[in-house]
Amino acid sequence: MHDPSIFRRGATAAALSLAIASPPASAGGIMLWEIGTPTLGTASAGWAAMPENAATAYTNPGGTVWRDTTEIRAAGQLLYGDVEFSDGGQTNISGGDGGNPLEWFPGGGAFAAGRLAENIGWGFAMAGNFGLGLDYNNDWAGRRFVQDVDLLGMSLIPSFSWKINSCLSIGAGLNVMGAYFDFESAPRAGLIENDARLRYKDTDIGYGGNLGIIYRPVPETTFGITYTSEVDLEFKDRLRLRDFGPLFEPLLDRFNDRRAEIDTTVPATVTASLQQKLTPATTLYANIAWQDWSEYAQVAIEIDNPQQTHLRADRGYRDTGHFALGVRHDFSRGMLADWSLSTGVAYDNSMATTATVTADTISDKTFRFGLGAGTEICPGVELDLGYTLAWVGDVDIDQRGRPPFSPRLQGSYKDTALHFFGASVQFEM
């Protein structure tokens, strides 16, 4: 007779593999600073202190009232990832290195800001900076843990701002986030090393809020601070299991086609920024930020079956900090006349430790380096180009699965890096 404890352990392991699934991380977490706007050129420095940029409708709603005309900015961005696994020799699953699971990935956004009255501003933003996706080769050595995973969030943010006096404004926006989650893995089918399939896919809409303050005591100095609240997401779909073989028929009877709910939380963030004119032509930018990844680490799954299986996983993530410094210089003579050039550096610490890095969440400390250029291509129309390198370096992994099969993936993601190429155009209306 079959040992029923094997079925129970196998079922629990399958459920847990879903409960802890999440998308890849490129930096401290999976919330990117890159949305195709001019902060690409400063490596995010100045994020919450650029009220003259219509993207303030996304980065700081308190900035939308600081303008004389309505402005619209359209941004486009391409991300190329260099994320490749190298086996360390102790992996106990046959297979390859998975290839590069993150290649070209599009992004960007649309932003608008204006005034309803002398001291009342409005804004609207559509952009996504939460989540990414990984697509490994089918025969890779980590397929027991993850084959493909996507978690993509796109936010629509209408907002209003109020200019309290000549140097201070506040703003608030509603964050309506649409999210898509898709997870697939290839668990072991039985006592032989055949591949089964586990699939889960759903969409959801979550809600949060953005608050922002702009303080400009003198024309040369702008401080900005913004808070984005957490967004709760609830994904609900039927588990799809196949090719598990006769040994795991009780597993299929218990879980296949059962409705499952996975709850996760987009973390809250706080960002403080500075824009400081050093000379009429040179501007300094700076950021300091915090992100609540310890809350994101709590993932719950509830499966609708006779036992009403309910599991909660703590992935052990830590809150992260961020610092950025950048500069922009406007040229009035020579070959670069009427152009501005920018550069910046940034640092994010990691939400994960070596013990908590997994094949679906490749996270470590990250250094960012940005370059940008901008010009007015005709009256009232500004063009900005930018590039950011997010350098993660080597990320060690030693991921171990549960009995009875106890899969292990041990090695390193070598020289991990993300390249962001972006351009945006701002129009005065």
Q: pLDDT digit string (tens) for 157-171?
A: 999 999 999 999 999
Contact indicator for 67, 389 with CB cutoff of 8 Å: no
User: Is 27's pLDDT higher than 90?
Assistant: no
- Mean pLDDT to the nearest integer, 285-310: 81
Give CA–CA dist 188/208, Å, rounded: 40
pLDDT (0 to 100) of residue 187: 87
% of the chain at pLDDT higher than 70? 92
Q: Which of 55, 64, 156, 58 lies closest to 114, judged by CA?
A: 64
pLDDT (0 to 100) of residue 402: 83
Between these two residues, 239 and 314, which has the higher pLDDT value?
239
pLDDT (0 to 100) of residue 2: 36
Between these two residues, 91 and 17, which has the higher pLDDT value?
91
Q: Which of 180-194, 237-251, 312-326 has the lowest mean pLDDT?
A: 237-251
pLDDT (0 to 100) of residue 8: 45
pLDDT (0 to 100) of residue 306: 60
Contact indicator for 380, 427 with CB cutoff of 8 Å: yes
pLDDT (0 to 100) of residue 55: 97
pLDDT digits (tens, 9 = 90+) for 265-282: 999 999 999 999 999 999
pLDDT (0 to 100) of residue 101: 93
pLDDT class of 146 with cuts at 50, 70, 90: very high
End-to-end Cα separation, the chain, in angstroms = 76
What CATH number does the domain located at 4-428 have? Answer: 2.40.160.60
Q: What is the pTM of this model?
A: 0.91
**Both structure tokens of 425:** 């155009």
**Both structure tokens of 363:** 């996270």
Q: How far is CA 122 from CA 54, 171, 264, in A?
A: 10, 9, 31
SS3 259: strand
Peptide bond into 407 cis (omega under 30): no
**Both structure tokens of 386:** 């930018």
Which amino acid appears at position 245 of this protein?
G
- Mean pLDDT to the nearest integer, 39-64: 97
Residue with tokens 């020289």: 415
For residue 219, what is the DSSP state?
A: T
pLDDT (0 to 100) of residue 16: 45
pLDDT digits (tens, 9 = 90+) for 175-230: 999 999 999 999 887 777 788 888 999 999 999 999 999 999 999 999 999 999 99
Question: ∠ CA(100), CA(35), CA(98), 5° rounding?
Answer: 10
Contact indicator for 137, 351 with CB cutoff of 8 Å: no
Helix boundaries (H) for 38-191: 56-59
User: Is 18's pLDDT higher than 80?
Assistant: no
Question: ∠ CA(388), CA(391), CA(392), 5° rounding?
Answer: 145
pLDDT class of 12 with cuts at 50, 70, 90: very low
Helix boundaries (H) for 148-255: 249-255
User: Is 6's pLDDT higher than 60?
Assistant: no
User: Is 318's pLDDT higher than 60?
Assistant: yes
Give CA–CA dist 390/346, Å, rounded: 9
Give CA–CA dist 15/200, Å, rounded: 11
User: Is 125's pLDDT higher than 90?
Assistant: yes
Q: Which of 5-14, 146-155, 162-171, 303-312 has the lowest mean pLDDT?
A: 5-14
Contact indicator for 129, 167 with CB cutoff of 8 Å: no
Contact indicator for 372, 385 with CB cutoff of 8 Å: yes
For 219-335, where are the E strands, in sequence order? 221-228, 231-238, 240-242, 259-266, 269-277, 282-291, 298-303, 310-314, 320-330
Residues with Cβ < 8 Å from 363, sequence gap 6 or more?
Answer: 25, 26, 27, 28, 29, 30, 350, 351, 352, 357, 395
Average pLDDT, the chain: 89
Contact indicator for 85, 142 with CB cutoff of 8 Å: yes
H, E, C per residue of 374-413: EEEEECCEEEEEEEEEEEEEEEEEEEECCCCCCCEEEEEE
Q: Which of 359, 353, 345 lies closest to 399, judged by CA?
A: 359
Give CA–CA dist 84/11, Å, rounded: 30
For residue 359, what is the DSSP state?
A: T
C-beta pairs of 163-166 under 8 Å, 24+ apart in sequence: 163/65, 163/66, 163/118, 163/119, 163/120, 163/121, 164/119
Give CA–CA dist 52/218, Å, rounded: 15
pLDDT class of 316 with cuts at 50, 70, 90: confident
pLDDT class of 243 with cuts at 50, 70, 90: confident
Between these two residues, 97 and 15, which has the higher pLDDT value?
97
Longest Cα separation, the chain: 86
Give CA–CA dist 190/2, Å, rounded: 12
Between these two residues, 314 and 359, which has the higher pLDDT value?
359
Strand partners, 98: none
pLDDT (0 to 100) of residue 312: 74
Q: Which of 111-120, 125-134, 309-318 has the lowest mean pLDDT?
A: 309-318
pLDDT (0 to 100) of residue 392: 94
Strand partners, 330: 340
